[in-house]
A and B are shown apart, each in its own frame.
Chain A
Amino acid sequence: MSLENFTDYKLPKNAYLSFDATSLKSLIIDRLNENETFTDQNFEGSNFSAFIDVVSYMYHVLLFQLNTTSNESTFNTATIYDNMSKLVSNIGYKPQGDQTSLLNFNLAARNLNANVYTVPRFSSVDVNGFTYSTLDDITFQKVTNTILETVAVSNNNLYQGAITEATFSSIGEPYETITLVDTFTTQQVVKVTRTVNDQQFISDNSFRVFVQDADTSVWTEWSETVSLFLESPTATSYEKKFNEGGNYDFRFGNNNNGRQLNANDTVLIFYITSNNEVALASPNAITSSTFNLYTSPAFNEISNYIYNADLNLINTSNKDTVLISNQFQSTPIKLAETVDQIRDNAPKIFSTQNRLVSKTDYETQINRNFNNITKDVKVLDNNDYTGQYLRYFNRIGLDRPNDDGRVLLGQVGFSASTNFNNVYVYTVPSNQPVINEQLPNFLNPAQKQIISNFCIDKKDVTHNVVIADPIFKAISFGVGSSAIQTDPDTLDDIVNNSFIRLSVDQNIAASSSSIRTKVLNIFKKYFDLIQLGGVVETGNISRDILNIDGVINIDTVNGDNVTPNLSFIVWNPDYRLEDNLIQTQEYNLEDYEFAYFYEISNITSKIAIQRL
């Protein structure tokens, strides 16, 4: 660093930023030489030189701290979770904590008369020694007397973990904040992977808050709000925040913005304590199990206020009449947002202003709040829906789009009046989007209902939000003629008999099995990342395969038909004859389309290797 301009104390204002330890040492020595009182600053063995080293190094460290502090005070450069959490609190963004696994269940009932029944909230079921609990009441209708029948339920989400209670006594001050300390988790927010200590954690989005008025002793359920400043003076609402210490803050109102707690009110928080990944459930982990009903002195008392006397509650005497089973595996654990995720999400969420107006608003809010159940979200407006989605069914030969079962299901379930002029949300489940690598999977009705309920108070009042199912496109290696539309066996022949032939340099020592595994990994990695409206980039996949050491050429083969490079057959598994094509170029998916590779694990058996 040049010191020419740094005479006396006439340093530029930002000169202090230019110094590091060695340049400051040089400056001190230069100034001492000018002063001429001491001489030994020039000799490294001297006391003075050691003293200057210490001063310079201290300055260097302090300047580093200053720079770090400066960086941590701005949104774009903050790297420490505590600081980022505080920064985004300025725009009302609330980072998400860890979320437990969800499990969908089917319900059957027997030995009950035809009637409507309710399984009380917080009931649980044992799955391989771990508890799965429901946070909401489950209402179902038994249609026939006595005999065993599968029943449709209002809610079929189980949360992994046991219900836990935390009781607090309020002080009665405005904007009172209660902190629920997560004693299970050690600084969960600052690390990437869990430690052994974090076997359990408090699951975010699993809170149910009840308040008992100190004067009347009446229990009421309070609901979570995005911001107390949006609430009326009498609203029984609270704000929840995952704070910088990894604990949960519950903030109540001040009688202007949300109702204020009275002194000595009892606040009771129910929440899920998750057992973490060890408790994930596989398909059919529970078959004909029964609920364990939740009881505690506090909940028994609360039950008197939240349940009407004429409700047919399932109780200990008839709980064995309700049988639970699960068809699919549970969803994975969702870790708390990292600093980079917050940096990515906070501006998007802020731009929506807690309103669902544009496509981006919908996609941002749903992706962020339901990423534990959705892999991807795309939204279609009326123009796209009628011009693309409905037209698709027309093009493949349906008289009416409603002839498709899933279109009809979406309309009946979520569209109050028409089958158009709504907002159409297309989602793919995060958990097993493809069943057995063959058949499409969709969000179940309860999961869709959660998303729909979330949208209700944020959307425009003039339209409905339809949580719709995307069209899945299966992809496999394929070479053949275009006469598939008339012969149902042709598609099977192409799928079953087509394979890729890799020409491999004979001087390369890589084994055939290792090359096949590498190709499989390329496809798995590629299709893991593909999203709604994405592009199947045939060229990029070919390039990745050709980058495998020794691979010099790719052909796709079906009998005598040979196509250079990759050739795929793409089809809709629900309309195999009506919608299929051979594709050798990039394949663009519409926003309502999702692609998967058919029987992807079987790819290795569809790779022939010839050594040249």
Chain B
Amino acid sequence: MAIRLDNLKQSTTEVNSLENGYLYKDIDLDLSFDRYAKKELYSKSEPNDLSELQDGSAILNSVKNILTTTPGQKLLNPTIGLDLRSYLFESVSNTISYFIGLDIYNSLGVQEPRVNLNEITIEGIPDENLYRIAIGFSIPNLDIYNLSLNATLNKEGYVVV
């Protein structure tokens, strides 16, 4: 008797998306037109659909959104986001660096399930009142590994370098 491994089966959305050449697709804010929806013979050759983010760029954007969002900011899901700004009121130290890393490690993977975190490096620079944050992660569904997101956390907030 054959064994059906449903847990390995791709969802309908994923199957259809892959047929269209992408797995994940998000809209690109600021909602500008820069895409040809369906190229047809004699159709006007000007953009007529929303610009979009696909696959890796969509996930990377999602990760950035989570890191720059404070819990409570998102209207209908107040738990989304990391409260990294709260660390700015503490003196720059190794202890705080540890807690920032722990916060990212505990929350980012839960809030963005498409990524696997590999490494988080936090470097506190007291003289400049900032932290350099490097997050290494993978996107297994897209076979993308060893991505790195480098950013600084200072009075300007979380700024991707």
Contact between chains at B24 and A44 (CB < 8 Å): no
What are the residues of chain B within 8 A of A33 when measuring CB–CB? 13
Instruction: Tell me the complex Cα distance, A35–B16, Å.
Output: 10
Binds A, one of B57-65, B83-91, B122-130, B153-161: B57-65
Contact between chains at B111 and A44 (CB < 8 Å): yes
Contact between chains at A47 and B28 (CB < 8 Å): yes
Q: How far is the CB of A337 from chain B (nearest CB, A)?
A: 40
Interface of A is mostly: helix
Q: How far is the CB of A212 from chain B (nearest CB, A)?
A: 63
A537 within 8 A of B: no
What are the residues of chain B within 8 A of A36 when measuring CB–CB? 12-13, 16-17
Q: Considering only CB atoms, which chain B residue lies closest to A32 in the complex?
A: B13
Contact between chains at B16 and A44 (CB < 8 Å): no
Q: Considering only CB atoms, which chain A residue lies closest to B64 in the complex?
A: A45
A40-B77 CB under 8 A given contacts A47-B28, A47-B53, A48-B26:
no
| A-B interface contact total, Cβ < 8 Å | 77
A53 within 8 A of B: yes
A40-B13 CB under 8 A given contacts A21-B76, A45-B65, A50-B74:
no
Q: How far is the CB of B122 from chain A (nearest CB, A)?
A: 21
The total of chain A residues at the interface (CB under 8 A) is 22
Contact between chains at A45 and B62 (CB < 8 Å): yes
What are the residues of chain A within 8 A of B80 when measuring CB–CB? 44-45
Q: How far is the CB of A504 from chain B (nearest CB, A)?
A: 53
Contact between chains at A39 and B23 (CB < 8 Å): yes
Q: Considering only CB atoms, which chain A residue lies closest to B52 in the complex?
A: A38
What are the residues of chain B within 8 A of A54 when measuring CB–CB? 75
Contact between chains at A53 and B76 (CB < 8 Å): yes
Instruction: Tell me the complex Cα distance, A48–B28, Å.
Output: 8
B34 within 8 A of A: no
A51 within 8 A of B: yes
Instruction: Tell me the complex Cα distance, A420–B69, Å.
Output: 84
Give chain B interface residues in 110-143, CB to chain A under 8 Å: 111-114
Give chain A interface residues in 1-39, CB to chain B under 8 Å: 21-22, 25, 33, 36-39
Contact between chains at A39 and B77 (CB < 8 Å): no
Contact between chains at B76 and A22 (CB < 8 Å): yes
Q: Considering only CB atoms, which chain A residue lies closest to B28 in the complex?
A: A47
What are the residues of chain B within 8 A of A53 when measuring CB–CB? 74-77
A56 within 8 A of B: yes
Q: What 1/0 mask marks residues of chain B from 25 to 48 whose CB sits below 8 Å from any chain A CB?
A: 111110100000000000000000
Q: How far is the CB of B20 from chain A (nearest CB, A)?
A: 8
Contact between chains at B17 and A46 (CB < 8 Å): no
Instruction: Tell me the complex Cα distance, A45–B63, Å.
Output: 7
Contact between chains at B75 and A39 (CB < 8 Å): no
What are the residues of chain B within 8 A of A39 when measuring CB–CB? 13-14, 17, 23-26
Q: How far is the CB of B142 from chain A (nearest CB, A)?
A: 12
Q: Considering only CB atoms, which chain A residue lies closest to B69 in the complex?
A: A45
Instruction: Tell which of A43, A49, A56, A57 touches B114, judged by Cβ atoms closer than 8 Å.
Output: A43
Contact between chains at B61 and A21 (CB < 8 Å): no
B100 within 8 A of A: no
Instruction: Tell me the complex Cα distance, A56–B77, Å.
Output: 12
Contact between chains at B77 and A47 (CB < 8 Å): no
Instruction: Tell me the complex Cα distance, A40–B66, Å.
Output: 14
What are the residues of chain B within 8 A of A57 when measuring CB–CB? 75-76
Q: Considering only CB atoms, which chain B residue lies closest to A37 in the complex?
A: B25
A45-B75 CB under 8 A given contacts A39-B23, A39-B25, A40-B25:
no
Q: How far is the CB of B135 from chain A (nearest CB, A)?
A: 14
Contact between chains at A44 and B25 (CB < 8 Å): no
Instruction: Tell me the complex Cα distance, A33–B113, Å.
Output: 18
What are the residues of chain A within 8 A of B29 when measuring CB–CB? 47, 50-51
8 contacts between A and B (CB under 8 A): A38-B25, A39-B17, A39-B24, A39-B26, A43-B114, A45-B65, A49-B77, A54-B75
Q: Which are the 4 A-B pairs with shortest beta-carbon distances?
A: A40-B26, A45-B62, A53-B75, A45-B66
Contacts A25-B76, A38-B26 known; list 5 others, CB within 8 Å: A36-B17, A39-B13, A40-B27, A49-B77, A50-B65
Residues of A within 8 A of B (CB): 21-22, 25, 33, 36-40, 43-51, 53-54, 56-57
